[in-house]
Each structure stands twice: as structure tokens, then as C-alpha cells.
Structure 1
């Protein structure tokens, strides 16, 4: 399979591929997986005063999955929670030229971020 330059670059050196320091105030995490698709994604967000102050991810999957998680974490960081909740994973798929048959894997990214929002709501 051929990957565009953005996928190649982000797979080789993904931004925000990190764990955020545990115990920080406002830290929430969410993960999602699909073993049949060989994909697992975990996001950690630090939410301070209604803003995503920091974002990090860990992922297991194909280059498209790693690249998309990198794009998403970078996009989330610095946005208000209200704006960040409008994440459009399909736009990320289009930007990275992800083939239709692989887009189901990237829905796990959307699921992991949604789990972060649920965690934030529970944390109050």
C-alpha cells in the first residue's frame, strides 16, 4: 500500500505520541479497540478552564491509524472543549487520503476521544 507524504511523515515521527503526566488536574483518558481490525487507540486530554490544555495518544495500528491519531491530538490541543467536541474524523481521513476500506479503523479514534468526553463529564 502506498501512503501520501503526510501519512509517511506522521507515521515516522508522530506528534503528541506520549503519555501525559499522571495526577495532573483535569486529566481524562479514553480508549477504543477493534481486535478484528488490529487497532487500539488511547487518548489522554488535560482539560483546564474549558480548554484542552494538552493532548497525547498511544496507538497500535496501521500507518493511517498512527498518522490520524497524531493529527487528531494536535488538532485537539489548545481548542475549547466546545470546539474540540466537533472533531470530524472523516475530514482527517480525507486529509490523509485514507482508503474507504480502512476508515472503519479510524472510527476507533472517534470512539476513544468520545470516551474522554464521557470521562470529563463524570469528573464534573
Structure 2
């Protein structure tokens, strides 16, 4: 499999995401998967006063998926939830030079994020 230079460089910089240890009333998590694409994503967030203080993605997937999740994390962490309800997934795919046929894998990340937001809105 051939990956873009942006994905290869991003993959080299990835660190293992620690599980959020402070699982209090501000902790929310949700999962999404697409078995036909071989992708599973868990999203964990700490949201205080409607600010995403911490976000982690746990992923079973290809390097494109891992690097995309890291890019999304850099966009949404420390942002107000109302400012990041919708993420430009097409822009992320283009920015990382990921082939169009992998868009479905990247959308699983967005699904996990959106599910986590739903959990937040249901619990508040």
C-alpha cells in the first residue's frame, strides 16, 4: 500500500493515546465501526463548560485513519463544542492527500466524534 508523504510524516509523529483517567461527570465516550472497511474507532472526551478539554481516539485501522484522527484531535481539542459540531472531513482528506476511496474509513472517525457529542447532549 502506498501512503502520501503527509500520512507517512504524520504517522511517524503519532504517540500512543493514553486513556482519559479522570472519568468524572465531564467524561464522555462513544464508538463507531465499519466492519466492511476494517475500521473501529472509540472517541473519549472531557468536556467542561462546553469546551473540549481533552480528546483521544482509539483506532483499529490503517495509517490514513490514524493520522486523520490525530489531525481531527488537533482541530477540536480546547475548542467550544458549538464551534466544532461539523468537521470538514473532505478538507482533512485533501490536506493529508488521502485517496478518495479511503473517505469511508475517515468518516468512521467523524461518526465516533458525533456519537460522543450525542452522549454529551443527552447527559447534560
Q: TM-score, normalised by structure 2?
A: 0.91
The corresponding residue for 1:38 is: 38
Q: Aligned pair count?
A: 124
For residues 14-49 of structure 1, what are the alpha-carbon distances to aligned partners after superposition, in whole Å with 9 as ceiling and x for unaligned? 257231114233111121111111101111111011
For residues 60-100 of structure 1, what are the alpha-carbon distances to aligned partners after superposition, in whole Å with 9 as ceiling and x for unaligned? 11110000011111211011111111211111111111111
1:4 Cα deviation (Å)? 2.5
The corresponding residue for 2:71 is: 71
Write the mapping of 1:76-115 to structure 2, written as runs, cut at 5 A. 76-115=76-115
| Secondary structure in structure 2 of the residue aligned to 1:85 | coil
| Secondary structure in structure 2 of the residue aligned to 1:46 | strand
The RMSD of aligned alpha carbons is 1.5
Whole-angstrom distance in 1 between the partners of 2:31 and 2:115? 7
- Once the two structures are overlaid, the 10-residue window that deviates more, 2-11 or 82-91, is 2-11
1:2 Cα deviation (Å)? 2.5
| Secondary structure in structure 1 of the residue aligned to 2:20 | coil
Give yes or no for contact 1:16–1:56 (8 Å, CA) kept in 2: no
Write the mapping of 1:41-60 to structure 2, written as runs, cut at 5 A. 41-60=41-60
| Gap regions ≥5 residues in structure 1 | none
| Secondary structure in structure 1 of the residue aligned to 2:101 | helix
Q: TM-score, normalised by structure 1?
A: 0.91
| Gap regions ≥5 residues in structure 2 | none
Whole-angstrom distance in 1 between the partners of 2:36 and 2:22? 30
